[in-house]
Chains A and B, each alone.
Chain A
């Protein structure tokens, strides 16, 4: 659906993205992650035909986003980061206007606009001026706008930014449902959201793609694949020494909480050492208060990729 080859964009004096290569297949929900200023918005704007790339090619459904911009744009629903809207229009009026602009056939406009208003929960504000809407509703108007022409591809630049937790949950559900009929490219800072909704993830940092895989594979790849937290009274034993001897344990750090010692164990990925820890504790007569496995999250992947990179890369 999306094909990006060697895409590079330079602004005066700086490179926003360099040599991006990726593909998004039909029906995929692709998460697009990266720190602020990594080049996410730039990439999405190029794909949406809003600005041209300096070099490289990008195509949507086989149409080059620059050479065949109109065809590419008519297959696209784009929601930009701050959702700029005409404040002097009413919600229904705006959506009617956008539907006509995007070439929805005349007799279908009312039906489509009704559908997206229903879908995005805009019924109760449909007659309000957009300028009078709260941030959450503006966001939904932006989303409704992106959906109104039933595009094959949705490009959503931080669709949940500025929403409250309930709204974020609603939008997440909405995106998940949309993913059944649409291809979606979605950028966000909320990583649990990506873990829950996206079939694949691209992590971009300083204009380069650092990782591109399914969330599960990414979790498997990282060095700090997870760990175990043990809280115990170890009596005379040091605790850390004994725990380190268990095979698969790489590193143990100790914290003190009154009499209790809190050990954080770094374990090789794919291993579960909790049973052995329990046996050890039983044998040494330690009192256990907590023994839990901490799953690695995308946040760990994100931090590892974007942080380690910061120290390695010369600026």
Chain B
């Protein structure tokens, strides 16, 4: 367990030692901050039937940066080690492959969570200034942040898999960007193609990140997406583990 923490600590520190970490933080907080501002000023102009928090998590200014950050967070995980050759000292130390894979995933997840924490301030500031709660319940907060966490785990694990497949960080970023975008657009098909059958539409609804977020940000915690994202994360990590082990036979 100590080795896992040692690896994890290095991964997390790695984000704050590299410019990419800070670029991602600045980019993300800037765009989400602007998004929050837009939502409030928009709601100021006319009465709305939803809360600030619901609006914040359900619009294009939320989804666009959301999809973009995953390739940036995960591209370096394995690809950088392969490129620099540091995989050699790493794997000749007495550590298990599984420890390395999990440490890298959890490291990315810790950074991702750290990225989201400041957004809680948005709501605190809103409450402080307006002297009133943002017309929503604790359940809605929990729901939206839980969905952020679930989606984050899944997309980060996709990024892990992309990074383990190549020693080129750019290629890793492109693979994960394409994969995550495709997964995301699966949920959009039902709005675009009007002639999909009812069964197909239901199925697309089940895997639609947009629908999941819409439900969760209203405070309705449906267990189906929890199962979906946790099992998909496990699958992606299992594939990452297999791909990581296969490096020995490809050398």
Query: What's the Cα separation between A98 and B88 when bound, in Å?
Result: 13
Query: What's the Cα separation between A80 and B86 when bound, in Å?
Result: 10
Tell whether B91 is near chain A: CB-to-CB under 8 Å.
yes
Question: Who on chain B is nearest to A103 by CB?
Answer: B94
Tell whether A159 is near chain B: CB-to-CB under 8 Å.
no
Contact A84 B88 (CB under 8 A): yes
Contact B89 A78 (CB under 8 A): yes
Contacts of B86 in A (CB 8 A): 84-86
Question: Who on chain A is nearest to B6 by CB?
Answer: A100
- The one of B9, B18, B93 in contact with A73, judged by C-beta atoms closer than 8 angstroms, is B93
Contact B91 A50 (CB under 8 A): yes
Contact A101 B85 (CB under 8 A): no
Tell whether B46 is near chain A: CB-to-CB under 8 Å.
no
Contacts of A86 in B (CB 8 A): 10, 14, 84, 86
- The one of B7, B92, B94, B95 in contact with A80, judged by C-beta atoms closer than 8 angstroms, is B92
Q: Name B68-103 residues within 8 Å CB distance of A.
A: 84-89, 91-96
Contact A101 B7 (CB under 8 A): yes
Question: Who on chain A is nearest to B14 by CB?
Answer: A88
Contact B249 A52 (CB under 8 A): yes
Query: What's the Cα separation between A184 and B91 when bound, in Å?
Result: 20
Contacts of A71 in B (CB 8 A): 94
Contacts of B224 in A (CB 8 A): none
Query: What's the Cα separation between A48 and B96 when bound, in Å?
Result: 14
- The one of B6, B87, B92, B251 in contact with A97, judged by C-beta atoms closer than 8 angstroms, is B6
Contact B251 A51 (CB under 8 A): yes
Contact B251 A101 (CB under 8 A): no
Tell whether B248 is near chain A: CB-to-CB under 8 Å.
yes
Contact B94 A74 (CB under 8 A): yes
The answer to whether residues A103 and B17 also contact, given A49-B92, A51-B248, A80-B88 and a CB cut-off of 8 A, is no
Contacts of B6 in A (CB 8 A): 97, 100-101
Contacts of A70 in B (CB 8 A): 94, 96
- The one of A50, A89, A97 in contact with B88, judged by C-beta atoms closer than 8 angstroms, is A50
Contacts of B91 in A (CB 8 A): 49-50
Question: Who on chain A is nearest to B83 by CB?
Answer: A84
- Enumerate chain B interface residues (CB-CB to A < 8 A): 2-3, 6-7, 9-10, 14, 17-18, 84-89, 91-96, 248-249, 251
Query: What's the Cα separation between A51 and B92 when bound, in Å?
Result: 9
Tell whether A117 is near chain B: CB-to-CB under 8 Å.
no
Q: Name A70-106 residues within 8 Å CB distance of B.
A: 70-71, 73-74, 76, 78, 80, 82, 84-89, 97-98, 100-103, 106
Question: Who on chain B is nearest to A78 by CB?
Answer: B92
Shortest CB-to-CB span from B3 to chain A, Å, is: 6
Contact A145 B14 (CB under 8 A): no
Contact A84 B3 (CB under 8 A): no
Q: 7 new A-B pairs (CB below 8 Å) besides A82-B85, A84-B89?
A: A11-B251, A50-B248, A73-B92, A78-B92, A84-B88, A86-B14, A106-B2
Query: What's the Cα separation between A78 and B85 when bound, in Å?
Result: 14
Instruction: From B85, B88, B91, B95, name the one whose CB has the most chain A CB atoms within 10 angstroms.
Output: B88
- The one of B2, B84, B96 in contact with A100, judged by C-beta atoms closer than 8 angstroms, is B2
| Per-residue contact bits, chain A 35-59, to B (CB 8 Å; 1 contact, 0 not) | 0000000000100111110000000
Contact B89 A80 (CB under 8 A): yes
Query: What's the Cα separation between A87 and B84 when bound, in Å?
Result: 9
Query: What's the Cα separation between A87 and B86 when bound, in Å?
Result: 10
Shortest CB-to-CB span from A93 to chain B, Å, is: 8
Contact B85 A98 (CB under 8 A): no
Question: What are 30 inter-chain pairs, A to B, with CB distance below 8 A?
Answer: A11-B251, A45-B88, A49-B91, A50-B91, A50-B92, A50-B248, A51-B248, A52-B248, A52-B249, A70-B94, A71-B94, A78-B92, A80-B85, A80-B92, A82-B85, A84-B86, A86-B10, A86-B14, A87-B84, A88-B14, A97-B9, A98-B93, A100-B2, A101-B93, A101-B94, A103-B2, A103-B3, A103-B94, A106-B2, A145-B89
Contact A48 B94 (CB under 8 A): no
Contact B92 A48 (CB under 8 A): yes
Query: What's the Cα separation between A50 and B89 when bound, in Å?
Result: 9
Query: What's the Cα separation between A45 and B92 when bound, in Å?
Result: 9
Query: What's the Cα separation between A280 and B121 when bound, in Å?
Result: 101
Contact B10 A97 (CB under 8 A): yes
Contacts of B9 in A (CB 8 A): 97
Query: What's the Cα separation between A165 and B248 when bound, in Å?
Result: 36
Shortest CB-to-CB span from B242 to chain A, Å, is: 16
